[in-house]
Structure 1
């Protein structure tokens, strides 16, 4: 019998909830996502100081995303023999080091080096978030813990860009990164005192990714994830031109709608944990179904600012539960290899971000913003159909024990 898998099944029911550690991880993810988004609001002054074009400075975002993608696929293997507590603390150290490098960088090369460190931390953290939540709280509370952790993403999404721009104007972009450094230091200290020891329980190797991918539920889940996130990021990437050209809102109206999206997204993320504890499969199905319907409704309504603002906010609320739901799905579908499964989901999301922006751009050039929204609406409806007909989540115990049986037979 595979003892690592047995531990994966038993541990969630035996562990006492470590909410202090959950909130420490939430602060850590807030620091990571804030650092990831800061260049978007500080691009012009950064480029001017470093003596490069804004396009070149924009590669700081690209470097982070590419490294995060690669890291998500290999981090479980590279750290398979290391206590998870120390791995998570290392991500906070990388966050601090990244921000310090950027804050004191004399040139773009040093900035890119710092952003590479950040990419490792982001990719590694997301890969291990599901498996870590399973170790910190009982099985029934995992969705709630994940919703708390992901709320750090929502807050950072709403606050990082406007606050970065505001403080960058007042105190300079380098000092903004020093503030982000202080957040990382605080997160490290909090995690140091709250994260318990978490001995590695998996048997991760490069072949494990392939083995996990071979499981039918995982294959269909990956397809559904790519469809859902591609539809969302095509929508979000071209939301501003749609609201400006089709809806016809002013700059102030646009800012208000985007703020409404962010606030609603935070609310959706916060509520997701409680809802997911009751019916995971229903949420996986309803979210893309609702988002697809809203995308098509926006096209039909056209110039209707109030209705569009409501639909955009509802979209934000609906999407707030999506990352939490899919991370929870990983804990129930591949509990014996949650880190490898988490890495595959992170890679699928990164691929979806690329597809959403690239394909959405081609459609936008050919048909305009309405064409993009029609396309992403159809993609999301296909995702909902795929989830409803092909994806059948099972209980953690059933799935893991079936896997044990297969391993023993082999």
Structure 2
């Protein structure tokens, strides 16, 4: 779920010519962030074997980055809200680069997890500022286009990261696959350094405490539902490779194709869900997790059939990937004046 920087005021929305170069540099950084986040999903088995840890322990790489992402998104504005946004963004981009180096060179599980923790900080911090930053970079009438570019980078990375990691991992190893992220991270950092303007912040003290929103029972229940939804989603997604290799018995090439189909169906689902949300938001909020639960149970019963598993995963991507869009709309309707703090 995307978090938003709450230091932005309506008066801060830019009226000068759009800085599209800066927006594209941020989109590239998002691609690298999300690709780095999901890469272990398709490389779990070789990572565990090389580092001498169990697949369950290797899977915690996803949990650790997620934990630090959430923590950073909550603390970012209270701690850095008074600072110019450019050096803060560059700091998170630099952490992304450092994380890639540590993960690639990790000689044991502890170093690997340290790199993943730094990645989580980068993800949480960067995402929490992305929307407000775009609103400062482009005129009001171009904000939707700017956000579409940022989220397009997210969708692209989510689609190709896992299958590409699996494919490349069989030829250059899991370290080689992660190494490919480093030059892209360096390019994103340099591009942002050159293209991002100075963005002085005007802190909004009221918006600095996101926990105050939990006093609203509707928000508290909704946030709990979001937490459970994504816990379930990542519990399944994280261990897909061991499941497909050991239970379904697919080859690495077939694994890559299944993950690609999952990602492609997710893109289609993100496109289609807009029409469904206009007809029934709450039906989608209830129906998506119910269908995901049914599909998770179906995987346990159909796991030995590659054809059945491929179909289930494609439907999973179609339903699960657009879930954040539905909850984002719920957030905007439930907290129209506090959507950034609630994010």
Q: TM-score, normalised by structure 2?
A: 0.74
Report what 1:291 is aligned to: 288
| CA separation of 1:52 and 1:318: change in aligned 2, threshold 3 A | closer
Specify the SS of the correspondent of 1:198: coil
Residues 296-327 of structure 1 deviation map (CA, whole Å, 9 limit, x = unaligned): 99799x99x99997786566345444424544
Corresponding position of 1:85? 86
Q: Which runs of 5+ in 1 are unaligned?
A: 343-410
Aligned to 1:121: 122
Q: Distance in 2 between matches of 1:312 and 1:130?
A: 31
Between the aligned partners of 2:213 and 2:80, the Cα distance in structure 1 is 18
d(CA) in 1 for partners of 2:40, 2:198: 35
Kindly indicate whether the alpha-carbon contact (under 8 Å) linking 1:76 and 1:340 is maintained by their aligned counterparts in 2. no
Is the deviation greater in 96-105 or in 34-43? 34-43
Larger Cα-atom Rg = 1
Shift of 1:270: 5.8
Assess, with a 3 A threshold, how the Cα gap between structure 1 residues 12 and 218 changes in structure 2: closer, same or farther.
Answer: farther
Matching residue of 1:69: 70
Number of equivalenced pairs: 330
Is 1:30 the equivalent of 2:31?
yes
Residue 395 of structure 1 is matched in structure 2 by none
Q: Which residue in 1 is equivalent to 2:193?
A: 192
Q: Report if aligned partners of 1:9, 1:335 keep a CA contact under 8 Å in 2.
A: no
Shift in Å, 1:231: 7.0
Whether the 8 Å contact between 1:15 and 1:135 is mirrored in structure 2 is no
C-alpha distance in 1 between matches for 2:22 and 2:241: 37
1:199 counterpart SS class: coil
Contact 1:31/1:183 (<8 A) preserved? yes
Indicate if the aligned counterparts of 1:50 and 1:108 stay in contact, CA closer than 8 A.
yes
Q: What is the distance in 1 between the residues matched to 2:129 and 2:110?
A: 29
Secondary structure of the structure 2 residue equivalent to 1:81: coil
2:98 match: 97
> Counterpart in 2 of 1:364?
none
| Equivalence for 2:179 | 178
For 1:393, the equivalent position in structure 2 comes to: none
Matches within 5 A, 1:328-367: 339-342=340-343
CA distance in 2, matches of 1:136, 1:92: 18
Report the alpha carbon displacement of residue 184 of structure 1 after superposing the two structures with TM.
0.7
Shift of 1:110: 2.1
CA RMSD, Structure 1 to Structure 2 (Å): 4.3
Q: Which residue of 2 aligns with 1:323?
A: 324
Deviation at residue 153 of structure 1 after TM alignment: 2.7
